[in-house]
Homo-oligomer: A and B are copies of this chain.
Amino acid sequence: MLTYSFENRGKKSLYMFLYEQIKQDILSGTLKAGNKLPSKRALAKHLNVSTITVENAYEQLIAEGYLYTVPKSGSYVSDITALNPFKSRHDERIPTGTFIREDRTKETYFADFAGNSTSPDTFPFKTWKKLNRITMTDCVEDLMIPSPPGGINILKEAIVFHLMDFRDIQVYPSQIVIGAGTEYLYNILIQLLGRDKIYAVEDPGYQKISHIYHANNVPCVHVPLDKKGIKIDALRKTGADILHISPSHHFPTGIVTPISRRYELLAWAMEQPDRYIIEDDYDSEFRLAGRPIPALQNIDSAGKVIYMNTFSKSLSSTIRISYMVLPDELADRYNQELNFYNCTVSNFDQYTLYQFMVKGYLEKHINRMRNYYRVQRDTLLECMRAQPHYAKVTIKEEHAGLHFLLEVDTKCSDEELVAKIAKKGIRISCLSEYFHNKKDAKKHTLVINYSGVQPERIEEAVDRLFAGIFGD
């Protein structure tokens, strides 16, 4: 009969130890397919353990398929073929305590003009924490009701009022879909609009958009810009169905598409029923001069514009809440075809953001941030003007907010420029990096993203930047 010593079982329970021993004998071939095991009572008596111990061990082996039972006969070893190719990985124990900590690559630079993160000092932690606490105290039941696919209705309603106040856009909550970041929403849009469409993006532009289209294997074309934005004739030549743009503040050139071109773009979209324009309005709240530029959605009465925006820009890039406004026809299609998807934003975040909005904190925060960014920009510009080499640079598009362009009079290639500046501890990107068609690429133009730079480092950062550009 099967004999096992329980001496070395350590802290394991008797039944667990017995289960492991028998399993090992099956895996090693000591117990062969078809072998009958002793009855529970007999084995219990033989091993001097309780019947319940053997029963538990047998049941686990049966549940996992190592044993099978024949009614009124007993337990037998299963046929476990194809075993040999599978070696055990259990020897390769993971050494504990060797795990990597969070990546702090940012820290290797003195200042980062290439990233788009926000400074920790600007996030309204105290308010967010308070509202979080209120949410978890007052909304206990609501928090446990699964969110509708497009987001909770009261948050959608808050977004409707926000869009009215900030963008003069009038939409219904039923048109809104909330998701964990615009990248996620682009994925949903591809499923909604179809993979048989040709998607057009701006050249130059935010490269991640085309990465997403490529990862999804949908045709993606790059349309050049003139001073007013997308070139209509070039757009027509591509045969595009869907156009993806940021008409109110193009990244990285800062171009604002004027009203005449906007009507031309809408007219293009209206020529075919399947044509749509995705309007990415990512930083419209932060225009630093005059009123915000109206959204393209604002003049679209034909249901051709899909409006997208994110709270990651106005609050923090580490909070993942974005939304899109679908034209009625697409909203209906979404509800018919894609509403099986659960909302990707947790209820906790949705209810907290809802409170943040309806209690007026978002508006206050945006106003505060607009001032903060204005001071950032003014300080930057002032420090630049004080540089001895200031005459060799030209600043462009400095009113748009969050970034501007710095044209440099230099003979260095863009790669050399970036490398020289990096040596001074400054991370920067060039306008040319954002061009798909490299022969059109505008050279010697730096993109200055200032949203994430610590205010107290600006002066030294500018010194280093200019030392990098004009030093050896």
Contacts and interface: CB of A to CB of B under 8 A. Distances in A.
Interface in A285-314: 289-291, 293-294, 299-302
A256 B181 contact: no
Q: How large is the interface on A (under 10, 10 to 19, 20 to 34, 35 or more residues)?
A: 35 or more
B66 A259 contact: yes
A450 B310 CA distance: 38
A181 B129 CA distance: 24
Contacts of A132: 129, 132-133, 136
A180 B184 contact: yes
A344 interface: yes
Contacts of A294: 64
A118 B146 CA distance: 9
A262 B27 CA distance: 14
A82 to B, nearest CB: 4
A19 interface: yes
B293 A320 contact: no
A279 to B, nearest CB: 15
Interface in A127-180: 128-129, 132-133, 136-137, 140-148, 152-154, 157, 160, 164, 170-173, 180
A99 B259 contact: no
A334 to B, nearest CB: 11
Given A117-B146, A257-B65, A320 B215 contact: no
Contact of A181 (B136, B260, B344): B344
Contacts of A318: 143-147, 346-348
Contacts of A89: 170, 301
Nearest to A107: B145
A24 interface: no
A329 interface: no
A145 B183 CA distance: 18
A216 interface: yes
Given A90-B170, A120-B140, A65 B180 contact: no
Given A65-B228, A86-B266, A183-B342, 6 more contacts: A81-B264, A82-B267, A88-B301, A102-B153, A120-B141, A320-B346
Interface of A: 16, 19, 56, 59-60, 63-66, 68, 78-83, 85-90, 92-94, 99-104, 106, 115, 117-120, 123, 125, 128-129, 132-133, 136-137, 140-148, 152-154, 157, 160, 164, 170-173, 180-181, 183-184, 187, 191, 195, 208, 211-212, 215-217, 228, 256-264, 266-267, 270, 289-291, 293-294, 299-302, 316-321, 337-338, 340-349
